[in-house]
Structure formats: structure tokens, C-alpha cells
Amino acid sequence: AQKITQTQPGMFVQEKEAVTLDCTYDTSDQSYGLFWYKQPSSGEMIFLIYQGSYDEQNATEGRYSLNFQKARKSANLVISASQLGDSAMYFCAMSGKVAYSGGGADGLTFGKGTHLIIQP
Amino acid sequence: DAGVTQSPTHLIKTRGQQVTLRCSPKSGHDTVSWYQQALGQGPQFIFQYYEEEERQRGNFPDRFSGHQFPNYSSELNVNALLLGDSALYLCASSPDIYYGYTFGSGTRLTVV
């Protein structure tokens, strides 16, 4: 079984500061994918970044980067130069398969989320 | 380019009733997954449909069933509604071989 743990229920950060959101995971799969999603109050889950278990480089997407430490089973999200619009719930998730294993990815297992509030 | 669309956006049902939620995937996406998100929790995977068949299922009772149509749209049916079924129901779509999911804005179901 897969498990995602997010230990920060809520965070307050000053605008323009960098933010690190913690995520640890547990799985017996050798091949898996790790995701971060943002959920504003509207409810829609917005895909931010993806890391495959065999990817050697940490993933980056604009202001988002994923600090992947496989041995520690952690996949922390780093947001550089935070903005007021970054205020939202953030979820870490994992899938048991990655695209190149064929057949698409399995359903996602989500953590409980971190409520990030950016203060001016 | 329309993303994932879900209908209705809000719904109130009485305990014991049945409900059908609908999802149209993003253009070009043929895999549809459904998630239940209780208040203050992360989404929980219900099931995934591909080529009109249930491909994978999470830990949900048989009261939860689904369907995928030839145009890849999907329905989630919940029978014998319980108060605990009150939640935001999210639909997500992806191309067959792709690792990112596009989510809709969800249907908020309230069971009274």
C-alpha cells in the first residue's frame, strides 16, 4: 500500500520569501511517480510538478521545484519568491506507475495537504 | 481548449437516494478517474476508467459504480446515499500514456 505524509497542516509565509512544503512517502513499488497539486478555494486541483522515481534530476517548473531524496523517501516542494496568489491548499500525491511503464498511471494517493497562506 | 468539466456543481440529496455525477474529460484524454474529497482531507481514489472498462478501483463499496461512454465521458453513480457520502467529488482525466492528471472543479454533494 502507498502512503503520503504531509506534516505541516498550515504555514504562514511572508510574500517574496521561499517556501518549502514537506512530503514523505511510503511504497513497495520500484516504479512510481510523485506529484504536487495546488487547490485554491474554488476546488479545482491544479497540477504543479511531477517527479518519476527513476529521474536523476530534480524536477523544476518555473517557480516550483521538487527536492527529491529517494533514500529518505521525501519529495518536498519548493516555491521560490512566493506571491499572494500562492495562498491555497497544497497536496502531495503519488502513483504506482509512471508513464513509460505503459498503460498509464494508476490512481493517485494523496496526503492530507498543507494550507499555505502568503502574507503581504 | 476546454478542460475537464463536471456537472452539476452542487447537489443536495436525501439519505437513501441515488445520485449520478457527470464528467467530460479534456479533449484528447481517454482515461477518467474519480476521487472523493471530504472536508479538510486529501482526495481519495474511487476508480479509473479506460476504454469503457473499470481499470482500477480504490477502497470504496459497491454502492459506488461508474461508466465510461465511447466519447470518453464518464458518470459516477452512488446508491443508497449515506450522510458520510457528503463530499467534493473530483473527476480527473489524462491521455493513456501520460503521468499528469487534469482535474475538474468538482461536484459538491451534500446528503441530508
For residue A92, is pLDDT > 70?
yes
Supply the pLDDT for residue B1. 60
The whole-angstrom separation of Cα B64 and Cα A38 is 27
Whether pLDDT at B110 is above 90: yes
All three cell numbers of A81, joined, read: 519568491
The tens digit of pLDDT for each residue in B37-51 reads 999 999 999 999 988
Q: What is the dihedral of CA A69, A59, A49, A76, to 10 degrees?
A: 30
Q: How many contacts (CB atoms, under 8 Å) link A and B?
A: 78
Examine the pLDDT at B71 and tell me if it is beyond 80: yes
Model pLDDT for residues A7-58, shown as the tens digit of each residue: 999 999 999 999 999 999 999 888 888 999 999 998 889 999 989 888 889 9
Percentage of chain B modeled with pLDDT above 70? 95
Q: Does A112 touch chain B (CB under 8 A)?
A: yes
Q: Which set of grid coordinates corresponds to residue B65? A: 459504480
Selecting from A99, A102, A107 the residue whose C-beta is nearest the C-beta of B58 gives A107
Q: In this complex, do B31 and A37 lie within 8 Å of one another by their Cβ atoms?
A: no
Considering CB atoms only, which of B47, B90, B97 is closest to A104? B97
Residue, of B56 and A90, whose pLDDT is higher:
A90
Q: Rounded to an integer, what distance in angstroms lies between the CA atom of residue A111 and that of residue A3?
A: 8
Distance from CA of B103 to the nearest CA of A (A): 6
pLDDT of residue A105: 63
